[in-house]
Amino acid sequence: MAASKSRISSKQRVPSKGKIAARMQRPLVFGMVVASGAEGLGAKVEKLLRWTSKQTGVEISLGEAPSYEQLAKEVRASRVDVAWLPPIVRLRLGGEVSALGSILRDGRITYETALIVRKDSKAKTIAQLKDARAGWVDRWSAAGFVLPRVNLALFGIDPRTFFRTETFFGSHRGVVEALRDGACDVAGTYAQADVKGKVKGGSWSEIEGADVRVLATFGAIPPDVIATRADLAEGHVSAIRDSLRAASVDEQGRRLLRAVFGGEAFVEDMAKSYESLARALDMASARGLFA
């Protein structure tokens, strides 16, 4: 069955399509923040959902959320059944969701948080960012807001008074484009590093004209996760999990996963990777850096 779209403010056993379909009885909504200017991401998600619909035997619609916080609200209101959740959203929802797993990207499940500047920026150190215009992704973005501020605090810098202005641009693409276009002087975003920790790319890599320099990185962050509402029927949860497992070993499924998530393999059990982020979030909340 075709997917529809709505707008909202190791080795594994792969089950047969028939067994998956038998578990499914009603339409589901897949929630995701689809950034403006993401070059057809919504259409790519819908293609993946059409493929998943064939696996599960039920229509799955795309529910686009305008922000991370709104995505959390939609899950809490049971208007979203399964979602692609950024790390902070996953932690804030806590026991209200059950994480199924994530998508392995370039052999890694973690990424780095980074502060970037334009390549021609005079700033060479964090201290030289004093009175700069900061660009952030979203108040609930780990790499694009929360962790850069936590780490600035660890350096003895109060991020609430350090910058001249702080502006949210809604997505990693948005903040990089703002930096490129001169709307901010420094941006918080994610970076991709190799096994030795050397940055080899990031949110800016596929954005035309984004000639940037990484000023600082602050260590690994756990990945976004695919999660279901905690009260979703077990039959639905199992079918969704099995369809993701199936996608990881199906040629078309792998292409669709890469188009949407940037990776091809579904990896389960993300709990341990979130422990350090949970501690950082607690510290940020205690210091008034995150509400």
Pick the closest to residue 86 from 147, 30, 9, 33 (CA basis): 33
Residue 236 host element (H or E): helix 234-249
pLDDT, tens digit only, all 291 positions of the chain:
344 455 544 444 555 555 454 444 568 999 999 876 566 888 999 999 999 989 888 789 999 999 999 999 999 999 999 999 999 999 999 999 999 999 988 777 788 899 999 999 999 999 999 999 999 999 999 999 999 999 999 899 999 999 999 999 999 999 999 999 999 999 999 998 877 778 889 999 989 999 999 999 988 888 899 999 999 999 889 999 999 999 999 999 999 999 999 888 999 977 667 888 888 888 888 888 876
Angle (deg, nearest 10), helices 41-56 and 234-249: 110
Provide the pLDDT for residue 83: 98
Interatomic CA distance for residues 227 and 82, integer angstroms = 6
144 CA to centre of own chain: 10
Mind listing the domains of the chain with CATH numbers? 5-106+224-271 (3.40.190.10), 111-221 (3.40.190.10)
How much is the pTM?
Answer: 0.81
Provide the pLDDT for residue 55: 86
Residue 152 host element (H or E): helix 147-154
Contacts for 41 with CB less than 8 Å, ≥ 6 apart: 34, 35, 260
The DSSP 8-state label assigned to residue 290 in this structure reads -
What's the CA dihedral at 202, 112, 182, 215 to 10 degrees? Answer: -110
Pick the closest to residue 65 from 105, 22, 19, 34 (CA basis): 34
Strand ranges in the chain using DSSP code E only, listed in sequence order: 5-7, 28-33, 60-65, 82-85, 97-104, 111-118, 133-136, 165-168, 186-193, 199-202, 212-221, 225-229, 265-268
Interatomic CA distance for residues 235 and 195, integer angstroms = 38
